Amino acid sequence: MKAIRVHTPGPEENLVLEDVAIPTPGPGQALVKLEASGVNFIDIYFRTGLYPAPEKPFGLGMEAAGVVTEVGPGTEHVKVGDRVAYAMQRGSYAEYAVVPAWMLVPVPAELELATAAALMLQGMTVHYLTHSTFPLAAGQTCLIHAAAGGVGLILTQVAKLLGATVIATTSTPDKAALVRRAGADHVIGYDNVAAEVRKIVDKGVHVVYDSVGEATFKGSLDSLRPRGMMVTFGNASGPVPAIEPLLLSQKGSLYLTRPRLADYAQTREEIMDRATAVFNWKLGGHLPVFSMGTYPLAEAGRAQRDLASRATSGKLLLKIS
């Protein structure tokens, strides 16, 4: 089979398309013939070495959808022929992947596999951010950074579904128009974020959802009302440097968390609940602004470069079959 592998962490040129053996599923595992794989910033973090991979060479890709072609001994939850999707199992930049069966989610017949692949990681991220990390409610105001990105577009629409007021940041007029179509109440740029936020809501926002990282962190803190929550869940501009906890009290007894999806999807029950909710949002018409850009597997490097450059909007996929 064809698979993208990295022998040495570094630039996108280090992504190599190779012929490798089709893996064999072990106990409790399933072999999935992949149709589409999501492209996410976490893939870039592994490629560059920000997140070290224990093996060399190593594969990339943390989400995909396809069809089960083989199951290992004692495997439950899935059978050969099932249409499935998954997230948080590295190695989806490939034609086949072996995945623990407990992580595989059935894809409804009315949902295309490519759409399911596009929804898994970012959709479940939005679900835990808005339902678990900071349960967003009607009457609250949130600041969403990178609102035209894959997570940002879903997050904006779900925040509106929950009745919140959304202040969104974008970098271009075209992206601003897209985010307004997604339901954002206010759209601002990245300059003087805190001052712009407080023109809209004097006390500051209840929560900031920040996937950008270093470049926006200080402005995000300054945009919060007393006892507000700072949710920093990505490093698109680089990791946030260390801070003194005393800073949080000086700015109004703020809460700070750095969550990750793996800790909010530790069991099959959690994965099924979150993924089912995400699929229902899409099938129920609650995510009308949803775009997917596709690339062939051999052009994974270009897809990552386009994602990192912020030249794209919405979700990027590798079309595998």
Q: Can you say whether residue 100 is alpha, beta or left, with left for phi > 0 and alpha for psi between -120 and 50 degrees? A: beta
Answer yes or no: do 6 and 95 share one domain: yes
Residues 6+ positions from 52 with CB-CB distance below 8 Å: 9, 46
Answer yes or no: do 72 and 145 share one domain: no
Answer yes or no: do 8 and 111 share one domain: yes
Domain ends where: 243, 259, 275? 259
| pTM for this entry | 0.93
Q: Is residue 125 part of a domain?
A: no
| Residue range of the domain that includes 78 | 2-120+265-319
Domain count for the chain:
2
pLDDT one digit per residue (tens) for the chain, 321 residues: 999 999 999 999 999 999 999 999 999 999 999 999 999 989 999 999 999 999 999 999 999 999 999 999 999 999 999 999 999 999 999 999 999 999 999 999 999 999 999 999 999 999 999 999 999 999 999 999 999 998 999 999 999 999 999 999 999 999 999 999 999 999 999 999 999 999 999 999 999 999 999 999 999 999 999 999 999 999 888 889 999 999 999 999 999 999 999 999 999 999 999 999 999 999 999 999 887 899 999 999 999 999 988 777 789 999 998
Answer yes or no: do 299 and 252 share one domain: no
- Asked whether the bond before 57 is cis by omega within 30 degrees of 0, the reply is yes
Give Cα 134 to chain centroid, integer Å: 17
Give me the pLDDT at residue 210, please.
97
Answer yes or no: do 254 and 147 share one domain: yes
Give me the pLDDT at residue 179, please.
96
